[in-house]
Structure 1
Amino acid sequence: MKTKVALITGGYTGEAEVSLKSAAFVQSQMDTARYDVYPVHITVEDWYYLDAEGKTFTIDRSDFSFVQNGQKVTFDVAFIILHGTPGEDGRLQGYFDMIGLRYTSCNALTSALTMNKGYTKAVLTGVPEMYAAKSVLLFESQRAQAYGMVTDALKLPYFVKPNAGGSSIGMTKVKTIDALQEALDKAYDAEGTGQEVLVEEFVTGREFSQGIFRNAQGELVVLPATEVKTTREFFDFEAKYTPGLTEEITPADLTVEQQERAGRIIREIFVRLNCKGMVRVDFFLENGTDNFYFIEINTIPGQTAQSFIPQQVRAFGMKETAFYTELIEAALVNTD
């Protein structure tokens, strides 16, 4: 009998469009001999299963089931490909924990923590060989004082971004002080990000993104890194999703020593944050020092054919079908 997989997509933020594309690619790569895959859309208005003919079936939230042709359908596992809230911030994971449904991502606590960039950096303080840019975390109650708090503590240029959010939405690189207030307002007001802002001193260097996952045998597997070179000021939303603006090199041109050092750092991050499934770590290699600077961690990384993780899986010599099978099977044996 096939395993029934709920492929979770959609969401409550501007990342929903990316989530839908990611889920479509994942579904196209699933091992249909082993799994029955049901795309489940989660929106502010409704939760529903969308079948191949475009018919919708409302999800019963008491047990995450639906009725089709008079038969109740339940799931063995949820494959979460929902970027942003509620699929990446721990809300959906907490719900699944309460009803006893296994899932492919980090647990509720880790998901909530890692959506908060400032708190994540605090937890990762002391990871060997890892550096972090000097930063200021700003809450809504500090909005009136935010400008002064930043200028008192940090040196230009700055990266100003929502403390909780993805796809670089609401992010600005500030090179002159007269642009700071507008950048702060943009980050504070970014939809669905909690009105918290993280401001960091800019690190000059090469930018990389690298995936890691725990397979069904319980082993941590570090994927090859991707180097990101963009014609934009930084790797913003347009650079990420507009063809031609960014060059992505997988595997990245790193020395053996740099690869090994990055692998040690990423493994320690995965363990320190108690991650599950697949995650992606973004970092800078600073010019002049050769130090790796942590940027952020993404616990529901994009999964379109052009996304970093699928690129890295292919560079690793693995098929996406086998990769997604590993994630599902790891979730099914996970006893947490």
Structure 2
Amino acid sequence: MQKKNIAVLMGGYGSEYEISLNSGDTVMSALDSKKYNVYEVHILKEGWFCVVDGYKYDIDKSDFSVGINTEKISFSSCYNTIHGTPGEDGKLQAYLELIGIPQTSCAFYESALTFNKRDTLSVLKPYGVPMAKSVYVNKGDNISMEFKNSLSMQIGYPCFVKPNRAGSSFGVSKVYKEGDLEQAIDLAFKEDSEVLIESFLSGTEVSVGVYNFGDGIKVLPVCEIVPDGDFFSLDAKYSGKSQEIVPARISQVQTDEVQQLTSAIYDLLNLKGIARIDFIFHEGKPHFVEVNTNPGLSKESIIPRQFKAAGIALSDAFDKAIQFSIKKI
């Protein structure tokens, strides 16, 4: 059987590009070289490149092919490991769909929707999904005393200030008092022109992997997150300054509840491939925090640990993701 050419997409245009490169390396290492010709493809602001033996070859954006030593390489599927724009917000998905190349993430609309925290909350709220109280700020809005007083009444302190369209905790702050609010908003604006301010939810934080490779929605073992600090910050996520315990130290009733809610949200949002959904058990109930449609896959990341706990090899999971993407076209 002829081997299929698979492009592993990594990088991106935002702050998360280095994390994405690590995720891409995990996929590159795990895919079966006897079954696939695997190509490392960097999607960066400065250009799109296929990297072979340290050399960069330009991607032809007219058909997403690459010329290497007089040979034109086309791809059967793309394994999408990009965190942030353009690989997690729908732009790359729409482009690949237009030219007829499958990719392993959800489709462009679902990607755009879930990348926008505000819009995701708006979709899930009518279905009764528990979540924090929230307000929104756009760049240029007047952070007046009236706004601060209203925020104090609606949200209270402490609260979280987040970029609306960013991941990996870039630009996220926990704010304890009114005097620190504007500085936190300015930090978030460095990542996005829209900012989400959410009420603080006290309780156990968990993250749940979920996937569908064509044979139904499957939920992975729950991961409990114990940050070494106030919250699961960027530093805590990628510098080992947190405990990520799989399976989570919660009751079987809580495990069943959060896994069922994870499956329901995955279904409601019409997701595809591997995703990760985060919750906080506030007052005993799982409250939705956010969904990651291209979750981290590096050795420090949660999804690989959850697959291991489920007894599923990453090579098998990634292979099924690719095969399902090809069948969907």
TM-score, scaled relative to structure 2: 0.96
- Partner of 1:291 in structure 2? 285
- Selected match of 2:325 from 319, 328, 331: 331
**1:184-223 map, 5 Å:** 184-190=185-191, 193=192, 195-215=193-213, 217-223=214-220
Work out whether residues 222 and 259 of structure 2, in 8 Å CA contact, stay in contact via their aligned partners in 1.
no
Displacement of 1:332 in angstroms is: 1.1
Distance (whole Å) between structure 2 residues aligned to residue 143 and residue 208 of structure 1:
35
Checking the alignment, whether the CA contact within 8 Å between 1:127 and 1:268 is kept in structure 2 is no
In 2, the alpha carbon distance for the partners of 1:274 and 1:219 equals 12
Conservation of the 8 A alpha-carbon contact between 2:238 and 2:300: no
Partner residue in 2 for 1:138: 137
Is the contact made by 1:218 and 1:330 (CA closer than 8 Å) also made in structure 2? no
Match of 1:256 in 2: 252
Unpaired runs of at least 5, structure 2: none
SS of match in other structure, 1:110: helix
1:248 maps to a residue whose letter is E
The 1:102/1:143 distance shift into structure 2, 3 A limit, reads: farther
Does the CA-based 8 Å contact 1:5-1:75 persist in structure 2? Answer: yes
Contact map agreement 2:26 2:298 (CA 8 A) in 1: yes
1:143 CA displacement: 4.5
8 Å CA contact 1:13, 1:85 repeated in 2: yes
Query: Are the counterparts in 2 of residues 222 and 263 from structure 1 also a CA contact under 8 Å?
Result: yes
2:114 touches 2:291 (CA, 8 Å); kept in 1? Answer: yes
**How many residues align structurally?**
326
Give, in angstroms, the shift of residue 321 of structure 1: 0.5
Retained in 1: the 8 A contact 2:79–2:103? yes
Q: Secondary structure of the residue that 1:138 maps to in structure 2? A: strand
**Displacement of 1:177:** 1.3
Question: Aligned runs of 1:1-150 on 2, under 5 Å?
Answer: 1-51=2-52, 53-127=53-127, 130-145=129-144, 147=148, 150=151
Q: Which sections of structure 1, spanning at least 5 residues, go unmatched?
A: none
> In percent, how many aligned pairs have the same letter?
37
1:229 and 1:246 mapped to 2: Cα distance? Answer: 6
Distance 1:233 1:75, change over 3 A: same
Partner Cα distance (1:178, 1:185) in 2: 13
Give the superposition deviation at 1:156.
1.2
Q: Deviation at 1:328?
A: 0.7
How far does residue 141 in structure 1 lie from its aligned partner after superposition? Answer: 4.3
Whether the 8 Å contact between 2:172 and 2:188 is mirrored in structure 1 is yes
Aligned CA distance change for structure 1 residues 102 and 138 (closer, same or farther; 3 Å): same
How far did 1:229 drift? 0.4
Amino acid at match of 2:161: V
Residue 148 of structure 1 and its aligned partner are, at CA, apart by 5.2
User: Which has the larger displacement, 85-94 or 136-145?
Assistant: 136-145
* 1:199 counterpart letter in structure 2: I
Q: Distance in 2 between the 1:148 and 1:139 partners?
A: 18
Query: Residues of 2 paired with 1:115 and 1:317: CA distance?
Result: 30
Distance across 1 between alignment mates of 2:209 and 2:142: 35
Q: Aligned with 1:102: secondary structure?
A: coil
In structure 2, the partner of 1:239 is 236
Distance 1:114 1:101 in 2: 22
Aligned equivalents of 1:49, 1:149: Cα separation in 2:
51
SS at match of 1:13: coil
**Structure 1 Cα separation of the partners of residues 210 and 126 of structure 2:** 20
Q: Matched residues in 2 for 1:264 and 1:143: separation?
A: 41
State the shift of 1:103 in Å. 0.5
Query: Equivalent residue of 1:88, what SS?
Result: coil
Which one-letter code corresponds to 2:10 in the other structure?
A: T
Give 1:27 shift. Answer: 0.7
1:58-91 per-position Cα deviation (integer Å, ceiling 9, x unaligned): 0000000011121111000010001111111111
Residue among 199, 222, 225 paired with 1:225: 222
